[in-house]
Structure 1
Amino acid sequence: MALLPALAMAGEPAMKTRTASAEFDRLFVLAQTELEQDKVDAITDWSFNDQKPFPCVCFETGEKWHYVWTRDLSYAADLALAKLDPERTKTSLRFKLGAVRTPGVQGDQSKWKLVAQDTGSGGSWPVSTDRVVWFLAARHLLGDPVFRKEVEQALFMTLSQDDTFAFDPEVGLYRGETSFLDWREQNYPAWTAKDTTFIAESFALSTNVLHYEALRLAERLNRENGDTDKDNAGFYAAKADALRDAINRRFWNESRGMYMSYIGPAWAPVPVESYDLLGTSLVITSGVAPADRAQRALANYPVAEYGSPVIWPQQPATPIYHNRAMWPFVSEYALRAARATKNAERIAFEIRSLMRGTAKAGSNMENYELTTQAVHFEDGKLSGPVVNSPRQLWSVAGYLDMVMRGVFGVEDDGAVTPMLPTQLVPELFGDGDTIALDLGERRVVLRKPKSLGSAGLLVAGTQRTEGRETIVDLVPQDASVQGLRRNGAQFAPPQPEPPKPVRDGEAWRIAMAAGTILYSEGKRIERVDADREVEVRMTGTSQCFSATNVADEIESLPSRTTCVGPELHAERASPRVWHWMAPNDGRYRVSFRYRNANGPINTGITAGVMRLGLMCDKKLGPWPQFATIVMPHNEAETDSTSGTFEAKAGANCTFALNRGTNMSDLDHFAHYTGGKGGASGPLNEADIGTLTIVPLP
C-alpha cells in the first residue's frame, strides 16, 4: 500500500501544510519543488562515460552534482524518497548494483549483483566500506517481490564479501572509513592526506552501525522466508548481536558520555577524540545504543548557535567542508535521534536550524558554515564550505522528513506519532487550535490541548479517522531535560610529531612535550604536564607508540605511530610466495612494503586487495590461516594493512599472496573513464616489496 502519493507537481504542490507560520508552509513547498528538479532522465559525471550523458530515470545528487552516488542516494531514500517516489528510487538504487565481470572471482553467483562502493579514498573499497547504506534505503521497498529478490541477492553477496575482506574477527568490527565523512584530512589526522593505510585498517562507528542494520535486515528477510534459528536467520541474528556488543565495547567513551567516531587499527586501537553527528544519530536510531547511553550521547554532543556540527571538535588549519560545518541531512538524522530519546529541546533546535538554513539560502543547500549558517564564510585559505550545491538531494529529503515525521509524526508505516516540543506551539499554531499536513489522499490534523502545562512535549492522545482525515488530539508529556552543550565550534589542538623512542638499556626513552599524552598499543601510558622523558620498559616484542596534544581538556587527533623492536623478514621464493621459520611460539603481525600507483590518493577504484594464506608444518589446527591485505593508492612506497597469525617455535611457514577483489571487478564500473580499472578492464595489482613480520605482545 502506498503511504504517500508520488510527487507529480504541475504548478500546485502534491503536499501542503496548514500552520500559523507562512514561512514553514512556504519552505515545505520549496522542498517539493527542488525534489522535482532533482528528477532526471539522464546522468553525467566527469569520470564516467567520457563525460557523456547516459539514460537513467533517476534522482541526481544536486544542482552541481549530476550523478547518482550510493551513500547520497541511500540516505536520501531512507529519509524520504522511498515513500515519496518508490519507483524512481528503485531505479536509482538498481543503478548502484553491479555484477562481477572478472572470471573466477565470484564463482556460481557470477550473475548476482553487489552494491557498488563509489570512487574514493585510496582507491575505494575496502578503504571505504559504507556501501551497505544501500540496504538502509532498500528495506523500505520490499513490497515489490521482484525488487525484494534483488535486495536479498545483493545483501547476501555484499555481506559475504565484506565478511571476507573487511571484517576483523579479533576486534569484532568492520574496517573502513567513516560514512559520508570521506575527505580524509577533514576528520582524520592530517598525515592521512598522503597515506590512507591507517583509514583502511581503522574502525568507524557509522560504518559499523550500517553493517549492523544490514545484518538485521538479513535476519528479517530470512525469517520472513521461513528460515528458523538453526538456519540463516539465526546466523545473521548472532552476527548482529555480536556486532552490537562490539560497537558498545569499542566506541563508547565513558568520560565524554559519547561514542567515538573511529578508533585505530587492531594492532594499536588508539581511542580517538573525534565524534560525529551522523554516527551518533545512527547508533541511537538503530537501537545499538542502550537507552541510557543513547540519551547521554545525544545530550552531550555539542551544538553551535545555529545548528549542530557534523564533527566535534573542529580541526585546526583545515578548510571548511565537513570541518566547521553543519549538513542538513545529518541534522535530520539528529532530529530522529532526538525523537528516539524524547529530547524536546534538541527536537526544536534541529527543526529551527533546518528552517533557518533553507530560508536564509533560498534552497536546501549541501552544507553551511557552522558559526553563521552561511553558504560561504571568508577565512583566507580556510574559507568555505569549499563546495556547496543548491537543492542537494539528501538535504531536500531531510527537509521533507523534518516536516512529515519531525513535526507531524508520520512514520514509514503510516502511523502518526507526533512528538512536538511545546516551545514550537506558538510558532506553528498561533491563535489556532489545529495544524494540518495534506498528503493528497490523506490529511493529518494535529489538535493542540487546552493547556500545555509544564510538559516539554506534545504527543498523540486519541486518534480518529473522519473520511480522509486522521485527527490526532495532542496531549502533554514530560520530556528528558538535557539542555544543549554550546561549545560545538570548539577546536582541537594540532597533532604532535610522532614519538621517537631511543633505546636505553632495557627501556625506551621518549622525549615528550608538556601537554601531550603517550599511547602504546592503543593504550594510554601517561599524560605529560612538563617537558620531560618518559621511560617505557622493553618487552622484547614490537612496541608501537603514538601521541596526542591536549588543550582545554580536548585531545588532538593522534600522531603517526612509531613501532620499535624486533623486525623479521621472510625469504621470497617467487613473486607471490615467501618462506619463514618462526623463532618462538607466539602471535605475529605481517605486512608488506608496496607501491600502488594505479590512481590518486583521493579517488579511483583500484585499491590493491589481496588474501594472504599461511601454512606451517607445526600446525596449530587443521586449517591454514588467512588475512586480508589492502594496498591503497599511494605516492611513495609505504606499508600495507596488517594481518595477524600464530606460529610455534621452529615452524616452517609458507606465505602465499593471492588476488582478492576490488571495485574494478564490478561491471557497474565498465563506464568509469576517470582512471584505471574501469572501461580499460579490471585492475587489482601493486608493486610488492618486503614481507615484514613483527612479534606481538
Structure 2
Amino acid sequence: MLSLVMTAVLAAGAAGDTWHDQLSWHDEQARMTVAANGGFTLSGPFGHRDIGPQTMRVDTASTLFNGLFAMAQDDLKQDSVTAISDGAFDHGQPIPCTCFETGVKWPYVWTRDLSYSVDLGLWKIDPLRARNGLRFKLSDVRDASLPQGLYVMQDTGSGGSWPISTDRVVWFLAAQHLLDDKAFADDVYRAVVDTLDQDRLYTFDPDMGLYRGETSFLDWREQTYPAWTADNVAFIAQSFALSTNVLHYEALQLAARLAEAHGDKAKMKSYADKAAALKTAINARFWRADRGMYMSYIGGDGTPYDTYDLLGTALAITGGVADGDRARQALAHYPTWPAGSPVIWPERPDQPIYHNRAIWPFVSAYALRAARTVNDPARIEHELRSIMRGAALSGSNMENYELATQATHVDEGKLSGPVVDSPRQLWSVAAYLDAVSEGVFGLTQEGKVEPKLPVALMPMLFGDRDSITLQMPDRRITLRRPRTLHGDLLVAGKTTQHGDETIVTLKAIDTPSAPLRTDTPLYAPQPPAAPVITADDKGWRVEVDGKAVLYADGQRMGRIDGNTYISQGATPPCVSATRVGEQGVESLHSPIVCAGEPTRLTEGWPREWKVPVSGRYRIALSYENNHGPINTGVTAAVKMLVMHCDGSAAQRVPIVMPHSVGEQQSTYGTVTVKAGATCHFALEQGFNMSDLSHFAHFTGGKGGSDGPLNDARMGDLLIAPAAGTP
C-alpha cells in the first residue's frame, strides 16, 4: 500500500538520515564541502555552486545545514538590487528601488511575495530594503473625483485585480515589524485605516461576517477553483477564502494596536471588535468538523467546498484564529508526502503542476511555524527537511517543486511542471533563513529565544557535539545539548545571557502530537456536469448524471442518484453537485444552476421596481467587461448600487464586474424589502486599482498610463428571491 511505503520513507528519514555532509533522494545526491576561504561548495544534480563566506553563520555538526544557510544568504545578496523591472510597467525600463526583487524570473516587487518574505524574517536582515519595497506598494489616488487616501496596492490579477483578489492586506503582516521608523509607522497607520475602510465598503459581507475574494497566493484559478471559473471569475469575487480572511483579521488587530498608540480609544475598540467578530465568523464558516480542518474557500452563499490549503491553515494557527484543539487538529489532519507538504489538497488530476501537486518552500516555512505553535515535533522536522532537501538538490532556493519527487520539472505531457519555477525566489530564500533562525534556534519575531527542536534532529545538528550556534551581526545564540533525551521535543531549560550571547540549555519533553498523515488519496474526483432543474407539480425536480451529492442555497442536501425533488416554496433554489471519491473525498462543485427567471429591469438609470412579495432578494447586473484578459489587469469594474424604497433607509450593494468573456452576470448583493414598496435603483461610481497613482506606470494594459478606467457595458438589472437567512 502507498501509505505504508510513505510511512516507511518518513520513518527512515527521521531515524537514520543524518545529512552531515550529503543527502540522497530518488537516486540523486547533494554534497556540501567546506572551502579554503571559509565558504562552501555544493555539488548536486545541477552541477557545482561555490558559496562565499557570509555575514551570518551557523556552527553545527552538519556541513550541509551550515552551507545551505550560507547559500540562502548568497541568494538574498543577488535579490538585493537598486533597480527593478517588469514588462508591464514603464515598458520594461528599470525603476530605481533599493529593495528586494522577487527572483531570477520575477525582477520586480509584488505585494504578496514581498510581504510574506518580510514577515518570514527579512525585516530583521535588511530593514531598509524591506521598508523601501513596502513603500513601493503604497499609493495615493490619481482620480481627484474619488475619495482620497493612502492604499496598499493589489497587483494585477484575476478578472482585473481587486476586489476579485483581496489579499493586499498581507502588506500589514510585514509592515508591523518595521514600526520603529516614525515616518514609516505614520504611513502604516494611515494605510491600514484607509485600506480596511475601503475593503469594508466593497468586500465585506455583513450577513456572512466575512471578506470576499480569492485565496491568497493561489491565484491561478484553474488550479484551485472549479474549471468553469476559467472564463468567469464572478464566483471567485463572490466567494470567501480562509487565508484572505485571516489576513484581514491580522490587519484589524494591527489597526487596533496603532489606534491605541495614537490615543484613539473609540477607533481602537471598533477595530478590536471587528477583529473578534471576524475570528468568530471564520471559525463558524470555514471549520469542517467531519474533516477536522479549515476549508480553503466557501461559496458566496456559504456552500462548503471539500478543498484545503496549507498556507491558510498555517496562518489561521500562527495568527491565533485557530485555538487549542482546533489548531492541533487542523495541522495534524493536513496530509503530507515523503518530500513535503502540498500547498493544496486534494490535487486536481486535470491540471499541470504549479500550485497543484506542488511544494512551495515559503508555505512549508509557515507550516513549520504552525508546527512550533502546537508543539508538533514530527511536523517541524518534516517541513525543515523538505526545505533543506529542495535547496540542496537544486543549488538554489527555488520557487516550487513537484510533490512526489521534489523535482523542479517532471515531464508528463500537458500536465508537466512546475510550469514556472525560478531560482533564488525571494520568499523561498526567506523561508530557508527563517527555518534556521526560528525553526531551529527559536529566535521569535519578538526577539525571544524559544527553541522547539525535535529530538529526531539531534543526530544531524549536534552529532557528538555539546552545542550548536547561530552567529548574527548583533547577537549570538547557543543551544546546549540536554543531559538526557527522554522525550521527543527539545525546549528551553535554562537560559543565560552573556553580553550579546544567549545560551540555552535544552531539555526534552514529551508532546501529545499526532503522527504525520500519509494515508489520504492524492486526487479528488472530477465534478459532474451542471444539474438540470425544472418545476412540476411535485416541486423542483433536480437531475444529475449518476450518483452525486446535491447542494442547494449553501446547504448540503445529501446524496442522490439521478434525480430528486426539492420542495417548491417561495424561493427558487440555486443548486450544484459534487462527486464522491476515495475515502469520501468530494470533487469541486459543478456549475451552479438557479431555478426560475429573475425579474429584469432594462430601462436607463435610475430604474424602478414594485416589490411583489416581502423578503430578501439578490440583486445583480448583466454586463460585459472587455477591458482586459481574464487572468490579469487592473480594470475590474466596481460600482455601488443604491436602492431607495418608499422613503426607507437606502440599501447599498457593491457590484463587481470582472473582465469577462462576452456577457456575464456580476456579483450580487442581498437586500430586504416589503411587499408593495416602490424601489428606485441608482449607480454610483466605485473604485478599482486603476484609480491609484502607482498604476500610471502600468503599460501592460488598459487603466494604466492611458488613465484610470472603471467601467463596463451594463445590461439588465437582475432581481431574484434569495433563500433564508445566512
Q: Report the counterpart of residue 671 of structure 1 in structure 2.
A: 697
Q: Report the counterpart of residue 375 of structure 2 in structure 1.
A: 342
Q: Report the counterpart of residue 103 of structure 1 in structure 2.
A: 144
Alpha-carbon distance between aligned partners in 1 of 2:547 and 2:522, rounded to the nearest angstrom:
18
Deviations 1:265-313 (A, max 9, x none): 1xx3210011000000000000011211000000000001110000000
Q: CA deviation at 1:488?
A: 6.0
Alpha-carbon distance between aligned partners in 1 of 2:469 and 2:520, rounded to the nearest angstrom:
34
The range that moved more, 459-468 or 34-43, is 459-468
Counterpart mapping for 1:448-487 below 5 A: 448-453=481-486, 455-487=487-519
The range that moved more, 652-661 or 392-401, is 652-661
Q: Report the counterpart of residue 309 of structure 1 in structure 2.
A: 342
Counterpart mapping for 1:162-201 below 5 A: 162-201=199-238
Answering whether residue 661 of structure 2 is matched by residue 661 of structure 1, we say no
List gaps (5 residues or longer) in structure 1: 1-9
Alpha-carbon distance between aligned partners in 1 of 2:129 and 2:460, rounded to the nearest angstrom:
35
Q: Secondary structure at the residue paired with 1:194?
A: coil
Q: Is the 8 A contact 2:529 2:545 kept in 1?
A: no
Q: Is the 8 A contact 1:540 1:565 kept in 2?
A: no
Deviations 1:612-641 (A, max 9, x none): 00001163xxx2000100000011101000
Answering whether residue 273 of structure 2 is matched by residue 273 of structure 1, we say no
Q: Report the counterpart of residue 453 of structure 2 in structure 1.
A: 420
Counterpart mapping for 1:340-379 below 5 A: 340-379=373-412
Q: Secondary structure at the residue paired with 2:580?
A: strand
Q: Is the 8 A contact 2:525 2:587 kept in 1?
A: yes
Q: Report the counterpart of residue 580 of structure 1 in structure 2.
A: 609
Answering whether residue 273 of structure 2 is matched by residue 212 of structure 1, we say no
Answering whether residue 313 of structure 2 is matched by residue 283 of structure 1, we say no
The range that moved more, 396-405 or 640-649, is 640-649
Q: CA deviation at 1:570?
A: 2.3
Answering whether residue 585 of structure 2 is matched by residue 554 of structure 1, we say yes
Q: Report the counterpart of residue 21 of structure 2 in structure 1.
A: none
Q: Report the counterpart of residue 24 of structure 2 in structure 1.
A: none
Alpha-carbon distance between aligned partners in 2 of 1:337 and 1:596, rounded to the nearest angstrom:
41
The range that moved more, 597-606 or 50-59, is 50-59
Alpha-carbon distance between aligned partners in 2 of 1:412 and 1:288, rounded to the nearest angstrom:
18
Q: Is the 8 A contact 1:582 1:653 kept in 2?
A: yes
Q: Report the counterpart of residue 6 of structure 1 in structure 2.
A: none
Q: CA deviation at 1:571?
A: 4.7
Q: Is the 8 A contact 2:294 2:308 kept in 1?
A: yes
Q: Secondary structure at the residue paired with 2:594?
A: strand
Q: Report the counterpart of residue 719 of structure 2 in structure 1.
A: 693
Q: Is the 8 A contact 1:369 1:375 kept in 2?
A: yes
Answering whether residue 94 of structure 2 is matched by residue 53 of structure 1, we say yes
Deviations 1:398-443 (A, max 9, x none): 1000000000001122210000000000110001110000113321
Q: Secondary structure at the residue paired with 2:564?
A: strand
Alpha-carbon distance between aligned partners in 2 of 1:46 and 1:398, rounded to the nearest angstrom:
27
Q: Report the counterpart of residue 241 of structure 1 in structure 2.
A: 276
The amino acid across from 1:325 in the alignment is: A
Q: Secondary structure at the residue paired with 1:550?
A: coil
Q: Secondary structure at the residue paired with 1:465?
A: strand
Q: Secondary structure at the residue paired with 1:65?
A: coil
Deviations 1:97-155 (A, max 9, x none): 1100002211xxx3x42000000000000000000000000000001111100000010
Equivalent of 1:134 in 157, 165, 171: 171
Q: Report the counterpart of residue 286 of structure 2 in structure 1.
A: 251
Q: Secondary structure at the residue paired with 1:515?
A: strand
Deviations 1:284-343 (A, max 9, x none): 000011211000000000001110000000012101000000100000000000000001
Report the identity percentage.
55
Answering whether residue 543 of structure 2 is matched by residue 511 of structure 1, we say yes
Q: Report the counterpart of residue 5 of structure 1 in structure 2.
A: none
Q: CA deviation at 1:252?
A: 0.1
Alpha-carbon distance between aligned partners in 1 of 2:262 and 2:509, rounded to the nearest angstrom:
40
Alpha-carbon distance between aligned partners in 1 of 2:385 and 2:705, rounded to the nearest angstrom:
47
Aligned residues: 673
Q: Is the 8 A contact 1:194 1:635 kept in 2?
A: yes
Q: Report the counterpart of residue 3 of structure 1 in structure 2.
A: none
Q: CA deviation at 1:649?
A: 1.2
Alpha-carbon distance between aligned partners in 2 of 1:227 and 1:461, rounded to the nearest angstrom:
41
The amino acid across from 1:176 in the alignment is: G
Q: Is the 8 A contact 1:516 1:547 kept in 2?
A: yes
Alpha-carbon distance between aligned partners in 2 of 1:658 and 1:225, rounded to the nearest angstrom:
34
Alpha-carbon distance between aligned partners in 1 of 2:642 and 2:337, rounded to the nearest angstrom:
50
Please report the TM-score for the alignment, with normalisation by the length of structure 2. 0.91
Deviations 1:329-373 (A, max 9, x none): 000000000000001100010011111111011110000000000
Q: Report the counterpart of residue 88 of structure 1 in structure 2.
A: 129
Equivalent of 1:642 in 668, 686, 689: 668
Answering whether residue 53 of structure 2 is matched by residue 12 of structure 1, we say yes
Coordinate RMSD, CA, aligned:
1.3
Q: Is the 8 A contact 1:541 1:566 kept in 2?
A: no
Q: CA deviation at 1:566?
A: 4.7
Q: Is the 8 A contact 2:532 2:544 kept in 1?
A: no
Alpha-carbon distance between aligned partners in 1 of 2:409 and 2:629, rounded to the nearest angstrom:
28
List gaps (5 residues or longer) in structure 2: 1-50
Q: Secondary structure at the residue paired with 1:355?
A: helix
Please report the TM-score for the alignment, with normalisation by the length of structure 1. 0.95
Deviations 1:484-531 (A, max 9, x none): 111466100011111101222141222234431011001111213xx4
The range that moved more, 139-148 or 408-417, is 408-417
Alpha-carbon distance between aligned partners in 2 of 1:452 and 1:535, rounded to the nearest angstrom:
63
Q: Is the 8 A contact 1:327 1:366 kept in 2?
A: yes
Alpha-carbon distance between aligned partners in 1 of 2:216 and 2:174, rounded to the nearest angstrom:
15
Q: CA deviation at 1:11?
A: 4.8
Alpha-carbon distance between aligned partners in 1 of 2:92 and 2:449, rounded to the nearest angstrom:
45
Alpha-carbon distance between aligned partners in 1 of 2:60 and 2:462, rounded to the nearest angstrom:
6
Q: Is the 8 A contact 1:321 1:385 kept in 2?
A: yes
Alpha-carbon distance between aligned partners in 2 of 1:469 and 1:650, rounded to the nearest angstrom:
77
Q: Secondary structure at the residue paired with 1:143?
A: coil
Q: CA deviation at 1:392?
A: 0.1
The amino acid across from 1:260 in the alignment is: M
Q: Report the counterpart of residue 628 of structure 1 in structure 2.
A: 654
Deviations 1:144-187 (A, max 9, x none): 11110000001010001000001001100000000000000100
The amino acid across from 2:367 in the alignment is: A
Answering whether residue 192 of structure 2 is matched by residue 122 of structure 1, we say no
Q: Is the 8 A contact 1:618 1:652 kept in 2?
A: no
The range that moved more, 495-504 or 670-679, is 495-504
Answering whether residue 479 of structure 2 is matched by residue 446 of structure 1, we say yes
Alpha-carbon distance between aligned partners in 2 of 1:226 and 1:360, rounded to the nearest angstrom:
52
Q: Is the 8 A contact 1:351 1:402 kept in 2?
A: yes
Q: Is the 8 A contact 2:299 2:554 kept in 1?
A: yes
Q: Report the counterpart of residue 558 of structure 2 in structure 1.
A: 526
Equivalent of 2:601 in 570, 595, 600: 570
Q: Secondary structure at the residue paired with 1:657?
A: strand
Answering whether residue 586 of structure 2 is matched by residue 545 of structure 1, we say no
Q: Report the counterpart of residue 528 of structure 2 in structure 1.
A: 496
Deviations 1:533-582 (A, max 9, x none): 2111111323101000111111000111100125212251x2x3211110
